[in-house]
Structure 1
Amino acid sequence: MKQHYHGSCQCGKIKLTAAVQSLEMGLCHCRSCRKMNAGPVFILDAGFGKDILFEGLEHITVYSSSERMERGFCSHCGTTVYSRLVQPDFYEIPVDIFDNLPENELTISKEFFCSSQPEYYHFVEKGQRFETFPQ
């Protein structure tokens, strides 16, 4: 069952409500995510664009990081508020954007771009590992 969670960027100019599909996190080790977030990014599947309510859209700047993926971030404070698969318009939201997640229920279920994971960090909890992002 989908649960609605609320979040915002650091400065509060962008707010969102998303119907998160589960509390199973994805973890991305790709170079693009690590550059954008200064480390691996923990994400929750938030569904399709119609499933997310954004307030402050005028403060979202969009960057196309690849042919398949674009990232939305706050033009004021720089917080990454989403990654979106262009086709099929599917959103992933960084876990730490949300203000009301039951953090003790979060688990790592999948890890992406594992061949790009640097040697200097490791996680005790591991998810299903993928060398790229599944199609």
Structure 2
Amino acid sequence: MTEMRIRQGGCACGQLTFTARGEPKRVGLCHCMTCRKISGSPFSAFVIFAADQVTISGEFRGWSATPAVEDCFCPVCGSQVFDRDCDSEIEIRLGAFDEPNLFTPTYEAWAKRREHWLRTPDLESFAENRSAES
């Protein structure tokens, strides 16, 4: 029998934590203006799990830049830990996991907004959003 992988993480102050079980649906980078502005970085790195694979503990606040996605953060330290969307998925920031090097992105979205100095070899690249089929 195969053992289910369990990965944990949370915010900077430890008030908001999560446990992700099993394997993710996908891992990617996003260069869109919303991700850039929210993170204060030139891109966001994330992993997508089905919502029922993730357990959240602690208090969080959410706000929405678009009707389909709620960005969630710790109300104590302000860490942006995850996003929830209307398709029953949860997008967890790679930096929120307790361990580094758990996931490797396989694609990038909004590549037309990528900083010219940033190289992302071996990634499937979408000029804007990836389609639901990909």
Q: Does the TM-score normalized on the shorter chain lie above 0.5?
A: yes
Counterparts in 2 of 1:1-135, with a 5 A limit? 3-19=5-21, 21-22=23-24, 25-39=27-41, 40-48=43-51, 50-56=52-58, 59-86=59-86, 88-101=87-100, 103=101, 106-119=103-116, 121-130=117-126, 131-135=128-132
**Contact 1:60-1:74 at 8 Å conserved across structures:** yes
Offset at residue 117 of structure 1 (A): 2.1
* CA–CA separation in structure 1 for the residues paired with 2:50 and 2:113: 26
TM-score after normalising by structure 2: 0.84
* Shift, 1:118, TM fit: 3.3
Letter matched to residue 43 of structure 1: F
> Does the aligned pair in 1 maintain the 2:9–2:98 contact within 8 Å?
yes
Q: How far apart, CA to CA, are the structure 2 residues paired with 1:4 and 1:47?
A: 14
More helix by share: 1
Please report how far the alpha carbon of residue 38 of structure 1 lies from its aligned counterpart in structure 2 after TM superposition.
1.1
The AA in structure 1 aligned to 2:50 is: G
Runs of at least 5 residues in structure 1 that lack an aligned partner in the other structure:
none
TM-score (norm 1): 0.83
Runs of 4+ in 1 over 3 A off after TM superposition: none
Distance 1:113 1:97, change over 3 A: same
Identity score, percent: 24
Equivalents in 1 of 2:119, 2:105: separation in Å? 10
> 1:134 Cα shift?
2.0
Structure 2 CA distance, aligned partners of 1:133 and 1:52?
Answer: 23
User: What is the CA RMSD across the aligned residues, in angstroms?
Assistant: 2.1
Residue type at the aligned position of 1:99 = D
Q: Structure 2 CA distance, aligned partners of 1:20 and 1:45? A: 11
